[in-house]
Amino acid sequence: MQEPTTNSNLACIFDLDGVLVDTAVYHYKAWKQLANDMGFDFTEAQNEHLKGVNRMRSLDMILNWGGVEKTAEEKEVLATSKNTQYVSMINKMTAAEVLPGTINLLTALQQAGIKIALGSASKNAGVILERTQLTHFFDAIVDGNLVSASKPDPEVFVKGAAMVGVSPAQSVVFEDAQAGVDAALAANMKVVGVGQPENLKGAHVYVKDLSEITVEEIKALVKG
Ligand code: BG6
Ligand code: MG
């Protein structure tokens, strides 16, 4: 049997929503309910613009689209209400909702000795990873509770690389949102764009999902 090669000087940092699991539909339902309750609609096209955007900034954008103004206190109440509904949906998630290629790639990276970190804007990342049985793959988890600056600020990825002891130049980020690609580039990391190239400008490689990339291709990306 072939021994796995160790490569502990490399790190792969994964965004969560839209890369490992598809939670966009739950965010959409919860935001739509909130918008409808305030008397205006919220479309799937608008929801696309909220990818990678943190909770309060998302709320500000939705209120702006609806032409509604709220005080800081009212916004806190609205954000909490949306999150309560969102959490009630993600609490029912299962391993069946993990996106194609995820388990195979994470397993192969682990076997190759490559460090695996999470770099997500979500404050609910912990519960999503638990429900979908992905937690055990991660050497470090950086989520919305650990960062002060939202993507496109590079903080989330810089922290992830530091927590696994790998330099930014040896780190590869997987992202489905433009704000995340920009954050990774600002951190001086290589980026795999997951989704449509026109929504992920500047990524070094594009894939439809994680089944389209191998450990060898990831290693080549860092060398190149
Ligand atoms: C990101 C999502 O991963 O997390 C955004 O792409 C979301 O749509 C953000 O707003 C914050 O999530 P949460 O779970 O903290 O409200
Ligand atoms: Mg995402």
Are 39 and 116 contained in the same domain? no
Are 123 and 215 contained in the same domain? yes
Are 115 and 159 contained in the same domain? yes
Judged against a pLDDT cut of 50, whether residue 3 lies above it is answered with no
Are 169 and 187 contained in the same domain? yes
Distance 110 CA to ligand 1 centre (A): 26
Are 61 and 140 contained in the same domain? no
Give strand ranges (E) for 99-147. 115-119, 140-142
- With a 6 Å cutoff on the Cβ, whether 178 touches ligand 1 is no
pLDDT in tens, 60-96: 999 999 999 999 999 999 999 999 999 999 999 999 9
Q: Atom 13 (ligand 1): residue with closest C-alpha?
A: 122
pLDDT at 8: 61
Structure confidence at residue 224 as a pLDDT band (50, 70, 90):
confident
Q: In residues, how long is the chain?
A: 224
Q: Is there a domain that residue 138 lies in?
A: yes
Domain count across the chain: 2
Q: Is there a domain that residue 6 lies in?
A: no
CA atoms within 13 A on the CB side of 208: 3
**49 or 146, higher pLDDT:** 146
Are 36 and 81 contained in the same domain? yes
Are 41 and 120 contained in the same domain? no
Indicate the DSSP class of residue 21. Answer: B
Mean residue pLDDT of the chain comes to 95
Query: What is the CATH number for 122?
Result: 3.40.50.1000
Structure confidence at residue 7 as a pLDDT band (50, 70, 90):
low
Distance 55 CA to ligand 2 centre (A): 13
17 is catalytic: yes
Name the closest ligand to CA 125: 1
Across the range 167-182, mean pLDDT stands at 96
15 is catalytic: yes
Whether 173 and 157 have beta carbons less than 8 Å apart is answered as yes
Distance 16 CA to ligand 2 centre (A): 6
Are 56 and 158 contained in the same domain? no
Q: Is there a domain that residue 2 lies in?
A: no
Q: Is there a domain that residue 4 lies in?
A: no
> What's the pTM?
0.94
Structural domain span for residue 112: 11-22+95-223
Q: Atom 12 (ligand 1): residue with closest C-alpha?
A: 122
- With a 6 Å cutoff on the Cβ, whether 132 touches ligand 1 is no
